[in-house]
C-alpha cells in the first residue's frame, strides 16, 4: 500500500482484493484550488459518480494546502462524493483524528523526530521502524479511518458503522465491530479479525473479503473470529 509520490505524476498504488486488483486513485490538486475544483467539476459532469465508493488518495505534494484548511478541502471533495482514504505529500507526520491518515512519508532515517504532545490524540503510528501494535482506547467513530499498515490494531471500545480499520496484521476489537475491518494488508494471510460483538459492514483479510450480506446472520451480535482457511475467509463464533 505504500505510495511513492513522483513529482507531478499521480502515483497509483495497487491493492489486492479477492484476487482482483484495483487502483487507489491518486488525486493531485494544484493551485489555485478554485480552478482545480472547477476542472474536477467539469470532469465529474461527464463521469458522475466516478469516485463514489472508490478509494482515493489525496496527493498534496503540488498543492501545499495548509493543514488548517485541509478539513474544509476534504469536505469540499466529500461534497462531490469523493472520499479521501489517505493523504500523502504533506510535511506533518499526522493530521489528527478528524482527517484521513497521512501516508507515503519516508520511513527511513531521515524522518524528523516524532512530534510530542500535539500528536497525542492521533491514531497514526509514530515513526517506529518496527511493526508495532496500535492500541486505541476510545471508540472509533463514524467517518474515521484507522490506517496502520505495519502491525496489529487493538481497539478497546467499539468500531462504529461508517468507520474503517486497516491493519497490516490482525485487528482486535473489544467492543462491537460495526464498521469495516481490513486486516493483513501487509501480505499477512495469517492475520485474524477478532471482536466481542460482531455487526461488521465488511471484513477483509489479505485481500479476501466478506460484506455484511454474505455473513451468517446467526453470528450477528456474537463474539467471533475471522481468518483465512484454504483461501476462503471463515468467520466463526468464539463461544
Partner 1 sequence: MAKVLVVTSGKGGVGKTTSTAALGAALAQMGQNVAVVDFDVGLRNLDLVMGAERRVVYDVVNVIQGEAKLAQALIRDKRLDNLALLPASQTRDKDALTEDGVARVIDELRQKFDWIICDSPAGIERGATLAMRHADVAVVVTNPEVSSVRDSDRIIGLLDSKTLRAERGERMEKHLLITRYDRIRAERGDMLKTDDVLEILSIPLLGIVPESQDVLRASNIGQPVTVSGPDSPAGRAYAEAARRLKGEALPVSVPGERAGFFGKLFGRRAA
Report the interface residues with partner 1, using CB under 8 A.
68, 71-72, 75, 96-99, 117-118, 120-121, 138-139, 141-144, 157-158, 160-162, 176, 178
Here the cell at position 6 is 513522483
Cell output for 193? 479479525
164-167 and 134-136 strand pairing: unpaired
SS3 category, 142: coil
Closer residue to partner 1 (CB): 29 or 179: 179
Angle formed at CA 190 by CA 204 and CA 57, multiple of 5 degrees: 40
What contacts 188, CB < 8 A, 6 or more positions away? 168, 169, 170, 206
CB-wise, 41 or 138, nearer to partner 1?
138
Nearer CB in complex with partner 1: 87/191:
87
DSSP conformational letter for 105:
-
CA distance 111 to 149: 18
Give whichever of 118 and 128 is closer to partner 1, judged by the CB atom.
Answer: 118
Judged by beta carbon, residue 15 or residue 119, the one nearer partner 1 is 119
What is the closest distance, in whole angstroms, from the C-beta atom of residue 142 to partner 1 in the complex? 4
Of the two residues 74 and 208, which places its CB atom closer to partner 1 in the complex?
74
| Smallest gap from residue 45 Cβ to partner 1 (A) | 23
**What's the CA gap between 6 and 59, in Å, rounded?**
10
Minimum CB distance to partner 1, residue 51 (Å): 19
Closest distance to partner 1 from the beta carbon of 84 (Å): 14
Q: Do the beta carbons of residue 155 and residue 173 sit within 8 Å?
A: yes
User: Least distance (Å) from partner 1 to the CB of residue 71?
Assistant: 7
CB of 227 to partner 1, least distance (A): 27
User: DSSP string covering 2-39, please?
Assistant: ---PBTTB----EEEETTEEEE-EEE---SSHHHHHHH
Phi-psi region of 121 (alpha: psi -120 to 50; beta: other; left: phi over 0): alpha
Amino acid at each position: 500500500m505504500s505510495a511513492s509520490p513522483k513529482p507531478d505524476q499521480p502515483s497509483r498504488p495497487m491493492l489486492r482484493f479477492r484476487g482482483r486488483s484495483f487502483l487507489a486513485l491518486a488525486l493531485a490538486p494544484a493551485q489555485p484550488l478554485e480552478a482545480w475544483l472547477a476542472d474536477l467539476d467539469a470532469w465529474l459532469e461527464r463521469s458522475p459518480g466516478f469516485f463514489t465508493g472508490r478509494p482515493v488518495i489525496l496527493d498534496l505534494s503540488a498543492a501545499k494546502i495548509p493543514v488548517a484548511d485541509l478539513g474544509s478541502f476534504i469536505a469540499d471533495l466529500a461534497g462531490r462524493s469523493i472520499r479521501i482514504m489517505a493523504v500523502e505529500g504533506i510535511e506533518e507526520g499526522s493530521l489528527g483524528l478528524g482527517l484521513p491518515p497521512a501516508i507515503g512519508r519516508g520511513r527511513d532515517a531521515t524522518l524528523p523526530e516524532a512530534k510530542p504532545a500535539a500528536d497525542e490524540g492521533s491514531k497514526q503510528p509514530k515513526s517506529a521502524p518496527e511493526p508495532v501494535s496500535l492500541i486505541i482506547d476510545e471508540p472509533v467513530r463514524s467517518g474515521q479511518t484507522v490506517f496502520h499498515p505495519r502491525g496489529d490494531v487493538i481497539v478497546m471500545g467499539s468500531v462504529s458503522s461508517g468507520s474503517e480499520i486497516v491493519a497490516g496484521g490482525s485487528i482486535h476489537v473489544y467492543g462491537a465491530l460495526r464498521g469495516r475491518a481490513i486486516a493483513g494488508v501487509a501480505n499477512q494471510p495469517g492475520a485474524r479479525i477478532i471482536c466481542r460483538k460482531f455487526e461488521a459492514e465488511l471484513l477483509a483479510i489479505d485481500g479476501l473479503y466478506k460484506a455484511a450480506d454474505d455473513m451468517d446472520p446467526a453470528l450477528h451480535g456474537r463474539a467471533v473470529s475471522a481468518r483465512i482457511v484454504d483461501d476462503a475467509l471463515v468467520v466463526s463464533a468464539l463461544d
